[in-house]
Amino acid sequence: MLRRYFVTFSACHDNADALTKQALCITTVFSTNLIFYRRNFMKILISKFSRWIALFAITSALVACAIEPRVVDHSFAFDAIRDSPEIEVLDYRYGDSKLEGAKNPDWVRAEGRSLQMANTNGPMRIGDSLYVKWRLKSTGEIYQDTVDLRRRLPSDMKDQRIYFIVKGSQLYVYLILEKNLDPNPCMLKGDPRALARATHKPDDIVFALYCFEKITPIYPDQSKN
């Protein structure tokens, strides 16, 4: 660029017959180079701006993918009528799924009631939390609990079932892998249904229901259970 400038300047000077023409040549050279620099500056600026736009778009897409709730084929269920006849569920919500049964329907909640059982299966958002509100029928006491599921659920939720049981003032949540165990452990403790009726313990109740599948208690923490 520097060489081009001096060559052009020299040509103008050698061919000039008067100071006016020389000044005109110098002005032309400076104008030409100024336009050249300006055009290159704009190209560089546009190029850098385009790169920043592309980087921003890619970053935004990655962030959106990271925070967008995953949709996985799994299940959510409870049955307070069978498992916890001593309580009444007043409200519940699994994550932010809009599927029927994953939350207390709005029209039921508007009447001050709640479903007492639900079984929702299929592709749905993996919930970050589980909220349950209930009332003890014998005393009228009302309890509620919100379980943070983010660190309790596995990375692979396909074919998993989230199941909760309420006993007294305590909420119990289980994760059940919907795959038959081999060998079948159902009769290891005798008749699991008879055991559940005798003890009324949540672990025995859920075992009586799903003894042929892998059951993992996820709430409360084992140290508190």
The per-residue pLDDT string of the chain (225 residues; one tens digit each, 9 = 90 and over) reads: 444 433 333 344 444 455 454 544 444 444 555 455 556 656 665 666 566 555 555 554 444 444 556 899 999 999 999 999 999 999 999 999 888 899 999 999 999 999 999 999 999 999 999 999 999 999 999 999 999 999 999 999 999 999 999 999 999 999 999 999 999 999 987 999 999 999 999 999 999 999 999 999 999 987 554
Domain boundary pick from 67, 102, 122: 67
135 shares its domain with 203: yes
Q: Which of 39, 67, 95 is the last residue of a domain?
A: 67
What pLDDT sits at residue 100? 86
Confidence (pLDDT) at 29: 46
Say if residue 207 is in the same domain as residue 96: yes
Q: Say yes or no: 98 and 60 in one domain.
A: no
One domain for residues 134 and 177: yes
Report the pLDDT value the prediction gives residue 146, as an integer from 0 to 100: 98
Pairwise CA distance, residues 131 & 94, whole Å: 7
Look at residues 164, 101, 177 and name the one whose alpha carbon lies nearest to residue 134: 164
Show the tokens assigned to 29: 């050279």
Beta strands in the chain (DSSP E): 71-79, 87-94, 117-125, 129-136, 142-148, 160-167, 170-180, 213-219
Domain-located, residue 160: yes
Do 6 and 95 share a domain, yes or no? no
Q: Does residue 224 sit within a domain?
A: no
Do residues 95 and 14 share a domain?
no
Q: Are residues 40 and 108 in the same domain?
A: no
Domains contained in the chain, number: 2
User: Residue 150: which domain range?
Assistant: 71-219
- Residue 9: the pLDDT is 38
Q: Is residue 225 part of a domain?
A: no
